Amino acid sequence: MSDPVLTLKDAALSLDGNAGRVDILHGISMEVHKGESLGLIGPSGSGKSSLLMLMGGLERATGGTVTALGHDLGTMNEDALARFRRAHMGVVFQSFHLIPTMTALENVATPLELADDRDAYDKAAAELANVGLAARADHYPAQMSGGEQQRVALARAAAPRPDILLADEPTGNLDGANGAAIIDLLFGLRDRHGATLVLVTHSTTLASRCDRVIRLTDGRIAPFEKAAE
């Protein structure tokens, strides 16, 4: 098999909050290979979003290691990590994280502009059309529904054609037809561009499309890796 795109070895995450230290993830070891689609499932609070943040270098492991495309994310400095993320990763956050002062089109164009893409706005417009939002290009996030914002966030993450796409509940706010279109878009990135997908989901439809499913319980990988029934 090809070299893994993501490797976690005994990765742990603990955070210090005002209520003290919270141990969120424990002993997470796994590999994700190029072009693979991995579903992450598990109950609310089991650590799915936290694990996605570790994989995306948005949180640093407090134990063990997280390696992406051969780079140890724990030892990179902030600048190198930001550059690496920009060059290789797309992230769709559970709460979208759109920039409120930018229109849908500007939000999607931003990562392309940061990559000095001369066609940033044309590509952003095409990407918005792909998620069915051509007519919303000039709308601000506050003027859009949750499902529309979610699709803008996905268009923004997908536009630079990342090697690794990490998406937190990408169909969570969508009805059947829009959800199916987003699933096609995600797997299209994989099939046409070789992207590796890690998808947090409560949807059995989406989980069943993934090559492999990992279930988390209480911050650990549950002892089975079979697709959701």
Name residue 212's beta-bridge partners: 38
Which entry of ligand ATP, Mg ion, none binds 15, CB below 5 to 8 A by partner kind? Answer: ligand ATP
Query: Which of 44-52, 78-86, 147-155, 204-212 is the region at the interface with ligand ATP (rule: CB under 6 A)?
Result: 44-52
20 binds ligand ATP (CB under 6 A): no
We find the least distance from the C-beta atom of residue 26 to Mg ion, in angstroms, to be: 17
Q: In this chain, which of 50, 67, 130, 203 binds ligand ATP, going by CB under 6 A?
A: 50
Query: Which of 43-51, 70-78, 81-89, 145-153 is the region at the interface with ligand ATP (rule: CB under 6 A)?
Result: 43-51
150 binds ligand ATP (CB under 6 A): no
Which entry of ligand ATP, Mg ion, none binds 45, CB below 5 to 8 A by partner kind? Answer: ligand ATP
Query: Which of 41-49, 99-107, 144-152, 185-193 is the region at the interface with ligand ATP (rule: CB under 6 A)?
Result: 41-49
15 binds ligand ATP (CB under 6 A): yes
Query: Which residues contact Mg ion by CB under 5 A?
Result: 49, 94
Q: Where along the sequence are the contacts to ligand ATP (CB under 6 A)?
A: 15, 17, 22, 24, 42, 44-50, 94
